[in-house]
Amino acid sequence: MATKQTWALITGASSGIGKAVAFEFAGKGYNLFLTSWDEQPLQQVAADCHQQFNVETQAYVADLSRPESVDGLIRALFAPPIEIEFLVNNAGFGVGGEFLKTDLAQELNLLNVQLAAMLKLTKAVLPQMRARKKGRILNVASVYSFAPAPFQAVYSGCKAFLLTFSESLREELKGTGVTVTVLCPGTVRTEFRARAGIAHRNDAAGASPEAVAKIAVRQTLRGKHLVVPGFANRVFVFVTRRLPVSVVPGVVRFINSTRGVNK
């Protein structure tokens, strides 16, 4: 149950799934500490959530690819401290293309945003969750957590790490009152693919971020571990987990070719 002291910390909250998750939590009465690198839309999300749902909101601009920016965000959480009951590690982006030709600096930034920042934030807020015996962590991964994706090698590798880390941490926290949920969506109608330089044939394909966020928040509140929205995505995960490991990358490459990805 939401209280005036209960906050949700959401990264990548200025657009896409992060923005939709912010509205879901605000609609349930939770205060929001929102962060993103994109200041104007971030401030707008914070203002809209406050106006529509009368919850407290804070917007903190941070480039999570920079370690010093993550450190500044953590300091802001504890000065003065607020009670973070929900941590949503959503921030991320993709890098598409042949690994031999992609930009290394961009890929290192991807690792910082999706892995290093996630680890730092989790390490920062987990002690107070454990002490209160109450907390929920939501890590946003992908169906690629289960299947290597040629031409998105670093991105799919990050998502595999997120899944394994989430599963390991959940087991460590059994019986503590703190749960870990990992969200593994398929294609979502956001600007992700365009920003990643990934070609595709159908801009209308995939789920809406609002639909994904509704499922994710509901299941996080229930303490469910693995959330794969959409029947087709669940079939994909089911099949790829049962195929020989050596076969899966070729299957993913074929599927993405038929979808026009990287063409």
- Catalogue the active-site residues: 155
Q: Is 177 left (phi over 0), alpha (psi -120 to 50) or beta?
A: left
Alpha-carbon gap, residue 71 to 64, rounded angstroms? 9
Specify burial of residue 258 (Cβ count, 10 A radius: 0-12, 13-18, 19+). Answer: exposed
Alpha-carbon gap, residue 115 to 36, rounded angstroms? 16
What's the order of all strands across the beta sheet hosting 135-140? 57-61, 31-36, 6-11, 83-89, 135-140, 178-183, 226-227
Q: Side-chain half-sphere of 118: how many Cα atoms within 13 Å?
A: 28
Q: Peptide bond preceding 127: is omega within 30 degrees of 0, i.e. cis?
A: no
C-beta atoms surrounding 134 within 10 Å:
15
Alpha-carbon gap, residue 229 to 259, rounded angstroms? 19
